[in-house]
């Protein structure tokens, strides 16, 4: 097994502690708020100089990993300008992710993650947080700063505001998307339109659909994903297909009604586990097998249960992905333990075999998929 894979599995489960950290980061990596430096993933006072993602390279292979800083982790990261390394893994070349200059001016709706993933999120926040039914693993929380944006969960009648002024908002997104593309250096373009909960099942989906339709030229030409909650009116999924987007994705997170109720109370309240599965099946009827995706959070239910769900979904044409659970500081499950890294590796091998057996493509690529080992396993690196 490649040392970058072992290190990635450890970083995703144990987190990483800051060692020698010297200021300042070179300017090309230093973009203040959104991606390189992320409060969500950090607990140290010096967080402003710490990166939220790193590229690990060895033997001509490279992967990206999200950095979860944890003072007590046995893994220690040193950062001295562009010289970055992890104790015990000196054979691994650790690189910072060079930021797209558009990051400096873009609003929170358009963002660059990993090396080559560009996403448009038409509104900031998730109404589940306001109702107290947020997913138990979700570490995000309402940010009062968002009140200055009209497209946020603090806006009254957000859906109505969207419908009345969507042309204006779409033009604003377009300006920022084009700004990112002007400086694009990534080997691919993984283009995502995604959203969280707004008002009701169809409202959030229709807002996303308006955005996706507007950007359909980009969606047709790129590795594109429409990542939403399902609509109540399943016929809206047909409209998503007409935009030419490659994949539609509804994240189910866990397998089984009881786990669903416990882990994702908002989704349980407004849908049900059975409806979620029904929506995925409907999407396969429209998009075809291997063009519908879902995501699980690995480590919040027995691995055997997650595997059961993945097998069943893969069998009906859905590509199951996963992200490794880590207890985020502000989440309801902040005191839960993450899975063991050895178990994650074993699971990753099993999952890689599952995707290969169906000929399913893993999510994005190794330089954009930060929280799982699925790309690496399918390539036989694990
Ligand atoms: S849907 Fe769940 S995970 Fe996503 S933002 Fe809302 S509460 Fe968080």
Cα–Cα distance between 225 and 115 in angstroms, integer?
A: 16
Name residues whose C-beta falls within 8 Å of residue 68's C-beta, 6 or more positions apart in sequence: 11, 12, 15, 16, 41, 326
Task: Provide the residue ranges of all domains of the chain, joining segments of one domain with +.
Answer: 3-96, 101-378
| Average confidence score pLDDT of the chain | 91
- Cβ of 146: how many Cβ atoms within 10 Å? 17
Q: Is 267:300 a contact under the CB 8 Å cutoff? A: no
Take atom 7 of ligand 1 and give the residue whose Cα is closest: 134
Select from 3.40.1390.10, 3.20.20.70, 3.40.80.10, 3.40.630.30 the CATH code of 101-378: 3.20.20.70
SS3 286: helix
Q: Assess whether the C-beta atom of 237 lies below 6 angstroms from ligand 1.
A: no
The residue whose two tokens read 């009140």 is 147
Element (H, E) at 340: none
Nearest-CA residue for ligand 1 atom 8 is 138
pLDDT in tens, 210-239: 999 999 999 999 999 999 999 999 999 999
Residue among 128, 129, 205, 294 whose CB has most ligand 1 atoms within 8 A, to mutate? 128
pLDDT tens digits for range 316-327: 999 999 999 999
Residue 202's pLDDT is what?
A: 95
Substitution site in 134, 192, 227, 295 for ligand 1 pocket (most atoms within 8 Å of beta carbon): 134
d(CA 211, CA 213): 5
Give the residue whose CA is nearest to atom 2 of ligand 1. 135
* pLDDT tier at 46, thresholds 50, 70, 90: low
Range list of β-strands (E), 114-218: 117-120, 190-194
Question: Are the beta carbons of 171 and 178 closer than 8 angstroms?
Answer: no
Across 48-57, 66-75, 100-109, 218-227, which has the greatest mean pLDDT? 218-227
Three-class SS of 72-139: CCCCEEEEECCEEEECCCCCCEEEECCCCHHHHCCCCCEEEECCCEEEECCCECCHHHHHCCCCCCCC
Write down the pLDDT at residue 37.
39
CA-based nearest residue to 10, from 93, 98, 113, 86: 86
Give yes or no for residue 194 CB within 6 A of ligand 1: no
Query: Which residue lies with its CA nearest to atom 1 of ligand 1?
Result: 196
Separation between Cα atoms, residue 22 and residue 248, nearest integer Å: 43
The Cα–Cα gap between 269 and 272 comes to: 7
Whether the CB of 134 sits within 6 Å of ligand 1: yes
Structure tokens at 310: 């993945």
Residue 39 has pLDDT above 50, yes or no: no
**Max intra-chain CA distance, the chain:** 57
Asked whether 222 lines ligand 1 (CB < 6 A), one says no
Atom of ligand 1 nearest to the CA of 133: 7
> Does 144 score more than 90 pLDDT?
no
Say if residues 40 and 101 touch (Cβ distance below 8 Å). no
pLDDT at 371 > cutoff 60: yes
Residue 42 has pLDDT above 70, yes or no: no
Give the residue-averaged pLDDT of 68-84: 86
User: Which residue among 126, 130, 252 has the greatest number of ligand 1 atoms within 8 angstroms of its CB, and so is best to mutate?
Assistant: 126
- Residue with CA nearest ligand 1 atom 6: 126
- Decide: 135 in ligand 1 pocket, CB within 6 A: yes
User: Would you say the CB of residue 197 lies under 6 angstroms from ligand 1?
Assistant: yes
Q: How many CB atoms lie within 10 A of CB 125?
A: 24
pLDDT at position 29 is 59
Distance CA 159, CA 161 (A): 5
Q: Per-residue pLDDT tens for 247-285?
A: 999 999 999 999 999 999 999 999 999 999 999 999 999
Alpha-carbon distance of 149 to 30, in angstroms, equals 24
Asked whether residue 36 carries a pLDDT value surpassing 80, the answer given is no
């Amino acid at each position: 097994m490649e040392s970058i894979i072992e290190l990635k599995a450890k970083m995703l489960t144990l987190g990483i502690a800051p060692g020698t950290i010297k200021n300042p980061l070179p300017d090309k990596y230093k973009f203040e708020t959104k991606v390189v430096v992320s409060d969500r993933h950090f607990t140290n006072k010096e967080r402003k100089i710490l990166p939220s993602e790193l590229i690990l390279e060895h033997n001509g292979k490279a992967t990206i990993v999200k950095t979860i800083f944890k003072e007590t982790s046995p893994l220690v990261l040193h950062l001295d300008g562009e010289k970055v390394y992890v104790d015990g893994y000196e054979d691994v070349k650790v690189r910072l992710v060079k930021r797209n200059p558009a990051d400096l001016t873009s609003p929170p709706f358009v963002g660059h993650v990993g090396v080559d993933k560009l996403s448009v999120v038409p509104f900031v926040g998730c109404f589940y947080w306001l109702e107290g039914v947020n997913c138990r693993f979700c570490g995000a929380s309402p940010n009062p700063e968002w009140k200055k944006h009209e497209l946020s969960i603090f806006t009254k009648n957000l859906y109505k505001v969207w419908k009345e002024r969507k042309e204006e908002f779409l033009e604003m997104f377009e300006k920022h998307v084009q700004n990112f593309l002007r400086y694009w250096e990534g080997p691919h373009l993984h283009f995502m339109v995604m959203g969280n909960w707004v008002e009701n099942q169809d409202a959030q989906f229709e807002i996303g659909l308006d955005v996706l339709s507007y950007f359909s030229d980009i969606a047709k030409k790129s590795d594109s994903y429409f990542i939403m909650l399902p609509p109540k009116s399943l016929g809206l999924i047909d409209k998503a297909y007409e935009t030419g987007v490659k994949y539609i994705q509804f994240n189910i997170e866990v397998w089984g009604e009881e786990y669903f109720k416990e882990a994702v109370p908002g989704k349980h309240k407004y849908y049900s586990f059975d409806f979620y599965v029904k929506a995925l099946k409907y999407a396969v009827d429209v998009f075809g097998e291997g063009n519908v995706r879902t995501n699980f959070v690995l480590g919040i239910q027995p691995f055997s249960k997650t595997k059961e769900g993945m097998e069943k979904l893969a069998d009906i044409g859905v590509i199951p992905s996963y992200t490794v659970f880590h207890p985020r500081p502000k989440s309801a499950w902040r005191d839960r333990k993450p899975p063991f890294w050895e178990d994650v590796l074993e699971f990753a091998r099993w999952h890689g075999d599952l995707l290969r057996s169906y000929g399913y493509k893993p999510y994005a690529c190794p330089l954009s998929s930060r929280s799982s080992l699925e790309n690496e396993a399918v390539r036989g690196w694990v």
